[in-house]
Amino acid sequence: MKKFTVKVNGKSYEVEIEELEKSSSKEQASTKQKNIVIENEVNESQNTFLHDPKNQENTTSEKSIKVIAPMPGNIISVNVKNGVSINSGDVICVLESMKMENEICAPKSGKIVTINISNGDSVKTGDILVVIE
C-alpha cells in the first residue's frame, strides 16, 4: 500500500492505493482505478452529503441534511417542490456537466424543506441544492 495526501477545495485527505500485480499497462490502469478507495470527510454538524449513485443510503441521525452539488454545471430540471415528501433514491434534479446529464438523487426519505435551485441555474461544486428533513 502506498499512502498519498490529496488536497480538494483546501481540505487534505489521506488515501491509500494498493499496487496490484504487473500486467499490461492498459489493463493495469483500469484495474487500479477500480480499487482506489478514498474515505470522504463528512461534516456531521452540517449533515452535508455528496450524491453517491452507488450508495443511496447516505443517512444521518440528525433531523435534516443538505444535498450538495457534486460538480459544477447547469440545472436542467428540478423534480421536487417545497413541502413534498420524497423517498430515498428519488431524483431531486438533473445537473448537466460537461455535456452529460447527471441525476442527483435523494440520499434519504423525507420532506423537502428548502430548494435553492431552479431550471437554468448554474451551480458550483458544494453548492446546497436542497434540504431534506
Residue 62 has pLDDT above 50, yes or no: yes
Query: Which structural domains are found in the chain, ordered by start?
Result: 2-35 (no CATH), 48-132 (2.40.50.100)
pLDDT of residue 57: 40
Higher-pLDDT residue of 18, 112: 112
Cell readout for 127 is 453548492
pLDDT of residue 127: 95
* Tens-place pLDDT, residues 12-44: 777 777 766 655 444 444 433 333 333 333 333
Amino acid code (one letter) for 99? K
- State the average pLDDT for the chain: 75
Q: How far is CA 78 from the centre of its chain?
A: 17
Quick one: pLDDT band at residue 11, thresholds 50, 70, 90?
confident
What are the C-alpha distances in Å from 1 to residues 18, 25, 37, 72?
4, 19, 12, 32
Q: What is the CA radius of gyration of the chain?
A: 17
- Which residue is associated with the grid cell 483500469? 30
Quick one: pLDDT band at residue 46, thresholds 50, 70, 90?
very low
